[in-house]
Structures are given as structure tokens and as C-alpha cells.
Structure 1
Amino acid sequence: MRIAVVAANGRVAQKVIKEALNRGFDVTAFGRGAENKTVASNYVQKDIMDLTKADLAGYDAVVDGFGAWKDEEQPMHVKTSQYLCDLLSGTDTRLLVVGGAGSLYVNKEHTVQVYQGADFPKAFLPLAKAQGKELDELRKRNDVKWTFISPAGEFQADGERTGKYILAGEELTLNSRGESIISYADYAIAMVDEMEKGNHIQQRISVVRA
């Protein structure tokens, strides 16, 4: 497969690139900074909002690894993913978005989301709301083959690569030990598996450590 990863210097994106390269994928990394922090040999310095249709033409999949932490930057989650949608509109290129866990539902009726809970950390509330809105806007795009992949509640940057995960859907899912946890490395496995299989077009899925 031939894939492009944008915001490639992000820590999740770096794991996805490594996993894809290990499977023999042809990977191009796009990053805003001059330094290539990824293991991809093909690196293009370019901000997401400066990408063109020509830049992303011919790829089987594009990975949106954008992430922001400052409150004033949160609207960029919607802005960047919608911009990528516009570039990929009407093509067969898939868009896989690194999502968040805050927008997962905690009831079968899908009326209450994780971030609405009384014990949800206030520090992460702006991010959770922003990525929830990002997903809402993606749901309106029938012209793009998008997939939004949410991690478990505890997303471990330096967690173990176990090679195993549970593929879930819209609801916060616990493993047999009652945990909602996944490492960046195992999340990357799930994302690359989804690239290969393509079973969840225009859907949100989630992953948790098995």
C-alpha cells in the first residue's frame, strides 16, 4: 500500500509510520517542521493547510495525525480534518483520523458521552469537545472514505506493544480485566490493520488492549 501521513511528527503518527513501514508499505510523511522525527525516508516539510490535491493524489490512504493541546488551538481539529476531506473528496483514497476517547458513548442509546461525566478531567475537556465536534463534522461527509479511530480511555504513549487489541465501536469498551487502556504502539497496529482491511468506511471505531 501507498500511504501518506500528515502531522507526521506527532507521537501517534510516528508509531503508525513505523508499523506501516514494517509491513512493507510505501510511506510519505508530511510534517510542519524541518526536522524529520519519523523513521520514514520520504519526508516532506509542509503544513496540513498548505497541502494540495496533487500532494495527496495516488495514495491508498491518508492518515490524519493532527493533535493540539492548547485551548485556543482546539478548533484546528475540525478545520484540518475538513480541509483534508476537501482535498480527498470524490476520490478512492481513504482518510484515517486519529481520534479521541472523550466522544465515546457510555450508554447503548448513544446519548451520553465520556466527556460529559462528572469525573472527566477538566484539563482534557476542550480537547474532548473539539474532537467530538470533529467527528460530528466527519459524519456529514458522504463524499470521503473516512474512518475515525478512538483509543481507549487511557492512551499510553510509552505503553507496551502487545500485538493484541479488541476492536470495538461507538461505546467505551472494557477488556476482561475491566480496563480501558491501549498503547500508542497497539493503536498503530489497529490503524494499519484498518488500512489493509477497509471494513469501516464512514464509521467511528475504537480499540482497547486485549
Structure 2
Amino acid sequence: MKIAVICANGKAGRLIVKEAMDRNLDVTAVVRGENRSAAGKVIAKDLFDLTAADLKGFDAVVDAFGAWTPETLEQHSTTLKHLCDTLSGTDTRLLVVGGAGSLYVNPDHTATVSDGPDFPEMFKPLAVAMAKALGELRQRKDVKWTYISPAGDFQAEGERTGEYILGGEELTLNSKGESVISYADYAIAMVDEIVGGSHIQERISVVRK
């Protein structure tokens, strides 16, 4: 199975690359500069410069793009649109490293995590930008996308437990009442979905077991 990981130099991207390679998948890192991931194959291009020819032949493309500064938040939408346009009408799956702020907290799906009174104010612009991008992604019926939201506490340096709970559109808590997952366990879930998942045009979520 051939996969490409976009923004493979990021914390999530590097761990997804490693997890996939540990399972003997054929992995290509897509990076703007020098490759710092474990992948031996590299496409050195800016995301916005990627073409259909660049991504042809991959079974799955992982979008691990991230932006956090006010002037770059809109790129959550523009980068995703570019990838969708590039993969439109193909059988290549697009798997997106998403956010937790847009997970629903009620059965009617009218309230999200980021609407809560305890949601940090500093993260609201990011949550709004990522929710907007997800909303736009939901309109794409021409792409085999899957959006994977992490738990609320997404720990870059968290331990790899090897276990997780797969959830859906609503915030899922583990048996301890926690919403937490490490980047390493998230990478496991991502590669599991690539290899055996069938959540096409769906948002799913993961939390530590």
C-alpha cells in the first residue's frame, strides 16, 4: 500500500510516517524543505504546488497540515480545498488530521466542544478555522475523505499505549472520564484507518483507552 504524508516533518506527520513504515507500508514524505521524517522517499514541494501527477498512484494521502497564527488560520480551508481539487474524482483516499473543537457535545449536534464555557479563549480562532474547513470538506462528494479528530487533550509527547477507542461525531470519554490521546496513539489510529478503515466521507474521532 502506497501512502503520502503531507507535512511529514511536523510532530504528527513524523509519527504517522514512522507508524506506517513500521507496518511495511510504502511511504513518501511530502515536505517543503529537508526531510526530517523516517521516510526514504520524498516529494519536496509546498502543499499548494502539489499536482494530480504528484499524487497519482497513492492509495492514501494524509493531510497533516497545521497552522496556528492569526494570519495563517485561513490556510486550513485553502490547503484542504487544494488537496480536494487535486484528488477530485480519483480513488485515492484523503485522510485529514483534524481538531477536537468541532466535536459535538449533545445528541442533536447543535453544540460543540469549542462552544463550552471552559474552552480556552486562545484556541477559539483555531477551532473556528478548523470547523470551517471541516464544513467545507463535508460538501465534497467527489473525494474519498476521512476526517479524524483527536481527543480534547492532544499530547505531542504522550506515551504510546498501543490502544485507543474509536468514536464518531461526538466527544467520547474513556473509562476514566478523560478526553486525551497521544500523538503516537493517534498515529496508530490513522494508519489503522488507512489499512482497514471504511469511513469514507465521514468524521471519526479517537481517544486513549
Which bin holds the TM-score, normalised by the shorter protein?
Answer: over 0.9
Counterparts of 1:24-173 in structure 2, within 5 Å, are 24-33=24-33, 35-173=34-172
Task: State how far apart, in whole Å, the 2-side matches of 1:71 and 1:90 are.
Answer: 33
> What is the CA distance between 1:163 and its match in structure 2?
0.4
Counterparts of 1:1-12 in structure 2, within 5 Å, are 1-12=1-12
Structure 2 residue identity aligned to 1:90 = G
Task: State how far apart, in whole Å, the 2-side matches of 1:157 and 1:108 are.
Answer: 30
Aligned Cα root-mean-square deviation (Å): 0.6
Range moving further from structure 2, 59-68 or 42-51: 42-51
Task: State how far apart, in whole Å, the 2-side matches of 1:119 and 1:209 are.
Answer: 21
Task: State how far apart, in whole Å, the 2-side matches of 1:102 and 1:25 are.
Answer: 31
Structure 2 residue identity aligned to 1:52 = T
Task: State how far apart, in whole Å, the 2-side matches of 1:9 and 1:122 are.
Answer: 28
What are structure 1's unaligned runs of at least 5 residues?
A: none
Task: State how far apart, in whole Å, the 2-side matches of 1:7 and 1:81 are.
Answer: 13
Structure 2 residue identity aligned to 1:12 = A
Task: State how far apart, in whole Å, the 2-side matches of 1:197 and 1:78 are.
Answer: 27
What are structure 2's unaligned runs of at least 5 residues?
A: none
Task: State how far apart, in whole Å, the 2-side matches of 1:30 and 1:153 are.
Answer: 27
Task: State how far apart, in whole Å, the 2-side matches of 1:126 and 1:45 are.
Answer: 30
2:22 aligns to what? Answer: 22
1:13 aligns to what? Answer: 13
**TM-score, with normalisation over the residues of structure 1?**
0.98
Task: State how far apart, in whole Å, the 2-side matches of 1:64 and 1:132 are.
Answer: 16
